[in-house]
A and B are shown apart, each in its own frame.
Chain A
Amino acid sequence: MVFDLFLGALLQVKKRALHLQEVAVTNPRSDLRDIQRQCIEKLKQTLAEIDGLIVETETIWRQDPSLALDLYRHLSDQVFIIERNGVFSLIHSPESDAFLTKLIQQVCKDIGFPVLAPNVSQTSRTHYRFERQFNLMFVPPLESQFLLHLPDLYHELCHPLFSKEYKQLPSLQPFRTQFSNMMLDRTQALSQQLQMLDRREGPAEEMLRLNTWLASWAPDWLEEFYCDLFAIFTLGPAYAWANCHLCLKLQENPFATPSKGKVEHPPNAARMSIMLMGLRRLGFDDAADGCSALWADQVQTTGYSEDMAFGQCFTDAVLEDVVSSAFKAFEDIGLKRSEPGKHASVALCLNQAWDSFWADPEGFGEWETKAVTHLQKELAGAAS
């Protein structure tokens, strides 16, 4: 009986994939062609896998039902991902998405971004989010009317560089080599500490903590640090200010360093430290001083303070190594670095937005509305 349910469920997944294919193929929006192509391609691959499983399903079930279920769940999830991300955007993306997609295309041109510019969809239910499978950035529905969080687009823009689609791309090899070597250095350093602790039969709690840090660094924390540094490298101070702005909305301890279970994001205080290090390397000392003072105030206001675990996990030496490695990776693939007094185009607008905010926080809203209109006109002109 369970087999009947399993087989019926598998056929339902196939039916759903076929319906999604229908929706994707018939979508009329020319500005969403990239997403449409991705959906069609992924559905084709998934349908081939589903057919393969249908053919062998009885044999696999007879020998190992748990394996048959694993394979079914993977396919079912894949169809769900295509429906929820790609096809969802095809159906629900507003026409105003075109502005932010143009904006990200302009950013890519300005900084010498080496791969395909992503599309932007204003359908996020949370903050900014990048979906690798569809090369698609999700932002909140009204984001095209505001400027202070747009620097986060630069952070998200780094994520495609880690996509498996570009694994073999020769022009990205220097980037991958830098990142992979840094990853190996971190994992080896932490593994050695674990081995030493194991040899002298150190406390189990300490073992668990080191194990947690190892699982978190590789690769998630390192990738997040790279993305933060990418935004600093290509945009400059506006990204650090935007991060203070975002952290003001979060109610978490910025020094919280996990000790029992892997956490995907490094603590915000470590991220801020690495951004400030990056700004100073680029020569933005005044902005780094200002941002550092603001951050210190912000942390003091929330009542949190650095603890020993944070200090051990994120030493200045380790963070400085990450900055060196990331900046070398960006330079090696020809990205244009942000320099004091030399901003232009979108980077100029976003840095000016923060300068304007600090000059007059109360009157900024009016300035912002005019600046958005101006930016829309500029981008429309650049595209025509």
Chain B
Amino acid sequence: MSGDTRLSVVADRLDEYGLLAAKARRATLSLATPDTTSISAFADLLEPQERDNVALDAVVFQVFLRTRLGFKDADLRDLRQSLLDDSISEKTSERLKCIAESLERERAAARHRLGGA
């Protein structure tokens, strides 16, 4: 009933997506411990969805990309494919950054409304 529950749920969801996007970006850097799990988990969110075999997280994330960043089906397909390719292009890194920044803006706003720092 309370608006705070809803807002807290929204903030938690943005935390999860945001952290995953940040980890996917981190995985594109040249670090001592490469993290392919995060890239693969992020790519799963971009998979096309069909009735009776729906991944709820993916539906919600794709709605985020469509409604906030104007993604179309082809954009989702291209980004997923390029993440699954062996080498990640500069364009893909830029797109990841853009998604992460958008998530971070909304996440920070939600946490602020909840009385965060």
Contact = CB atoms under 8 A, between A and B. Distances in A.
Given A60-B29, A67-B26, A181-B54, A218 B63 contact: yes
A91 B25 CA distance: 38
Interface string B1-34: 1111111111010011011001001100111110
B52 A177 contact: yes
Interface residues of B, number: 45
B59 interface: yes
Contacts of A128: 1-2, 5
A220 B10 contact: yes
Contacts of B117: 76-77, 80
Contacts of B32: 56, 59
B42 to A, nearest CB: 14
A71 B23 CA distance: 8
A183 B67 contact: no
A292 interface: no
A71 B26 contact: yes
A78 B54 CA distance: 29
Contacts of B59: 180, 183-184, 187, 218-219
A223 interface: yes
Contacts, number: 129
B39 interface: no
A164 interface: yes
Contacts of A80: 116-117
Contacts of B64: 215
A223 B1 CA distance: 11
Contacts of A73: 104, 108
B37 to A, nearest CB: 13
B68 interface: yes
Contacts of B111: 77
A306 interface: no
A218 B60 contact: yes
Contacts of B31: 56, 59-60
Contacts of A243: 1
B9 A223 contact: yes
Most buried by B among A180, A181, A246: A180
A126 B7 CA distance: 13
Contacts of B108: 73
Given A80-B117, A183-B54, A183-B59, A70 B104 contact: yes
11 contacts: A60-B31, A67-B25, A70-B22, A131-B5, A132-B8, A155-B1, A180-B54, A181-B51, A214-B63, A214-B67, A265-B3
Interface of A: 56, 59-60, 63-64, 66-67, 70-71, 73-74, 76-78, 80, 84, 124, 126-133, 152, 155-156, 159, 162, 164, 176-177, 179-181, 183-185, 187, 191, 211-212, 214-215, 218-220, 223-224, 227, 243, 246, 262, 264-265
Given A180-B56, A215-B64, 10 more contacts: A60-B26, A67-B22, A67-B25, A77-B111, A77-B116, A180-B59, A181-B52, A184-B54, A187-B59, A218-B63
In the A-B complex, the 6 residue pairs with the closest CB atoms: A180-B54, A215-B67, A264-B6, A218-B63, A129-B4, A127-B2
